[in-house]
């Protein structure tokens, strides 16, 4: 295994989306958790249906549609102000506490670092700058470039195409098991950040490594890089 | 609109999956509803991820994988006997009370009737015979024929290819809004059986008609057929 670069997923992996759920509970007291769950579920569902059917719209649009559906389903009144507040929260996410230390370690080791996200370029630019992470990345790859969402092969293909290394020499780090498995299916070395310690999805494939934190992920990448230097 | 045929979705549309949920609650008292919800959610998720990534396995296999994950996630002990019982329940579903009366009406009007389902042919054969519906169908179309699941265009294409009519002359009836929308995206006339009266998914498209029952769906088809005879 000869590792040349690492690509991170963004939402939920580098950036903590908890603040969105907290805002949801502020706006709809007692309903925040249920709204957040349904919103997230529908957001993913819509990315997949649109990808399968070739009906791409931006991640921001999908996120807003999913929010509207979730509020419809839970009979929560979503006015323009509430919608604006929740969508804005999405552009203002905090990094996980171990994000910057992990990126620093990788940078110091000379590893090429990037992100590969479903988010559209405008949203990615906003959130990565807002979280103080932008300077760590050599490349920012967005599903929008190919008008499909993960786990479409066309999305994962952006890594090898842009980095000019085969996927087997790139580690993809994601907190979504399905993303880590999708990347592995494509040919990446993949790392699942399993913060909650949940069971692995049963898709007939396993990530190459599993840990509990971004620090674990950075450790895995550095170890893989060192091995090849020996 | 010149309607030549109608295709029904099967699981949840013609056949009631409640008995599976009831069995789940019998096996895991108090956890049936939560297990059923997660099982169904993962079943759909796995069909979509495998379709996007070109990693098809049969619907029966996906259903069993999803059941295992759901039990893992809820820390419910799924032994071989429980797994067998729940999976067997899936082959023994009852039709909705208005299924046979609706199919009879359509048959008497001389409409070509078929099913278009994610289910694999063996499972479809079992459930449609078990429910006493098999004799009403001129054709049984399975996603397995193209090794992809709904809403893949290749699956919807089976209708026009087999019936030798354009999709715009075929009504697709489904209790899943995403299926009715997927069919509409493909070019079908689509009918959503919205039994629970829930909100429509926000995917930028609407089914051609929405009703509360299979009887409503049959009425819509017969009305469309009559119009063209005038």
Residues A101-131 have pLDDT tens digits of 999 999 999 999 999 999 999 999 999 999 9
Nearest residue of chain B to residue A198 (CA atoms): B73
Please choose, from the candidates A184, A201, A53, A138, the residue with its C-alpha nearest in 3D space to the C-alpha of residue B51: A53
pLDDT (tens digit, 9 = 90+) per residue, B17-46?
988 888 999 999 999 999 999 999 999 999
Nearest CA in chain B to A202: B65
Tell me how far apart the alpha carbons of residues A210 and A217 are, in angstroms, rounded to a whole number. Answer: 8
pLDDT over 70 for what percent of chain A?
Answer: 98
Q: Which residues touch A171 (CB under 8 Å, ≥6 apart)?
A: A3, A5, A6, A7, A188, A189, A190, A191, A217, A220, A221, A224
pLDDT at residue A230 above 80?
Answer: no
Instruction: Compute the distance between CA of residue A99 and CA of residue B56 in angstroms, rounded to an integer.
Output: 35
Residue B229 confidence (pLDDT) above 80: no
What is chain B's mean pLDDT, rounded?
95
Task: Locate B126 and state its tokens.
Answer: 């079992």
- The string of pLDDT tens digits covering residues B179-212 is 999 999 999 999 999 999 999 999 999 999 999 9
d(CA B129, CA B192) in angstroms, rounded, equals 24
CA distance B158 to chain A (A): 15
A57-to-A23, A140, B154 alpha-carbon distances in Å: 25, 19, 21
Q: Which residues of A touch B205 (CB under 8 A)?
A: 55
Statement: residue B90 has pLDDT above 90: no
DSSP state of A63: H
Of B68, B69, B151, the CB nearest to A49: B151
Residue A2 has what pLDDT? 86
Omega before residue A151 within 30° of 0, cis: yes
Which residue from A55, A65, A182 is facing B53, i.e. has the nearest CB? A182
> Can you tell me which residue has the tokens 């070019």?
B187
Task: Tell me the average pLDDT across B135-151.
Answer: 98
Residue B94: predicted pLDDT:
95
A203 contacts B46? CB cut-off 8 A: yes
Please answer whether residues A126 and A91 qualify as being in contact, where contact means their C-beta atoms are separated by less than 8 angstroms. Answer: yes
User: Is residue B9 flagged as an active site residue?
Assistant: yes
Cis peptide before B151 (omega within 30 of 0): yes
Chain B hits for A52, CB-CB cut-off 8 Å, are: 48, 51-52, 151-152, 182
Residues A3-19, mean pLDDT to the nearest whole number: 95
Residue B1 has pLDDT above 70, yes or no: no
Q: What is the ipTM of this complex?
A: 0.95
Share of chain B above pLDDT 70, in %: 98
The Cα-based distances of A117 to A121, A128, A183, A217 in angstroms read: 9, 11, 12, 17
Q: b vs e for B116-150, b when ≥16 Cβ sit within 10 Å of the residue's Cβ?
A: bbbbbbebbebbbeebebeebbeebbbbbebbbbb
Q: Which residues of A touch B153 (CB under 8 A)?
A: 53-54
Q: How confident is the model at residue A90 (pLDDT cuts 50, 70, 90)?
A: confident
Question: Is B228's pLDDT higher than 70?
Answer: no
Instruction: Say whether pLDDT at A228 is over 70.
Output: no
Q: How far apart are CA B49 and CA A151, in angstroms?
A: 7
CA dist A100 → A4, A141, B25 (Å)? 20, 19, 46
Spell out the residues 6+ positions from residue B211 whose beta carbon is closer than 8 angstroms to its own.
B191, B192, B193, B194, B217, B219, B220
pTM here is 0.96
CA distance B8 to B214: 10
Domains and CATH numbers, chain B: 5-15+93-229 (3.40.50.1000), 17-92 (1.10.150.240)
3-state class of A201 per DSSP?
coil
Predicted pLDDT of residue B155: 98
Alpha helices in B90-175 (DSSP H): 99-108, 121-130, 153-163
What local confidence, expressed as pLDDT, does residue A1 receive? 58
Q: What is the average pLDDT across A22-40?
A: 92
Whether residue A130 contacts residue A14, with contact meaning beta carbons closer than 8 Å, is answered with no
- Structure tokens, B143: 């996603």
Cα separation, B150 vs A49, whole angstroms: 9
Structure tokens at A42: 């529908």
Task: Look at residue A118 in the predicted model and tell me its pLDDT.
Answer: 98
pLDDT digits (tens, 9 = 90+) for B58-76: 999 999 999 999 999 999 9
Please state the rounded mean pLDDT for residues A138-153.
98
> What confidence score (pLDDT) does residue A184 get?
98
């Amino acid at each position: 295994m000869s590792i040349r670069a690492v690509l991170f997923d963004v939402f939920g992996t580098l950036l903590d989306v908890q603040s969105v759920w907290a805002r949801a509970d502020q706006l709809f007291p007692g309903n925040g958790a249920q709204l957040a769950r349904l919103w997230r579920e529908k957001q993913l569902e819509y990315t997949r249906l649109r990808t399968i059917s070739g009906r791409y719209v931006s991640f921001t649009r999908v996120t807003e549609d999913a929010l509207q559906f979730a509020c419809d389903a839970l009979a929560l009144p979503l006015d323009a102000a509430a919608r604006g507040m929740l969508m804005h929260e999405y552009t203002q996410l905090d990094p996980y506490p171990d994000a910057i230390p992990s990126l620093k370690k990788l940078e110091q080791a000379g590893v090429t670092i990037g992100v590969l996200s479903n988010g559209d370029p405008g949203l990615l630019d906003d959130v990565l700058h807002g979280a103080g992470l932008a300077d760590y990345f050599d490349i920012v790859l967005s599903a929008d470039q190919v008008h499909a969402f993960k786990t479409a092969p066309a999305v994962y293909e952006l890594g090898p195409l842009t980095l000019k290394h085969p996927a087997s020499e790139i580690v993809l780090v994601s907190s979504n098991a399905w993303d880590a498995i999708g990347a592995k299916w494509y040919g990446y070395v993949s790392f699942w950040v399993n913060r909650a310690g949940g069971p692995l999805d049963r898709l007939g494939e396993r990530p190459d490594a599993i840990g509990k934190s971004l620090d674990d992920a950075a450790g895995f990448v550095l170890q893989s890089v060192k091995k090849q230097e020996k």
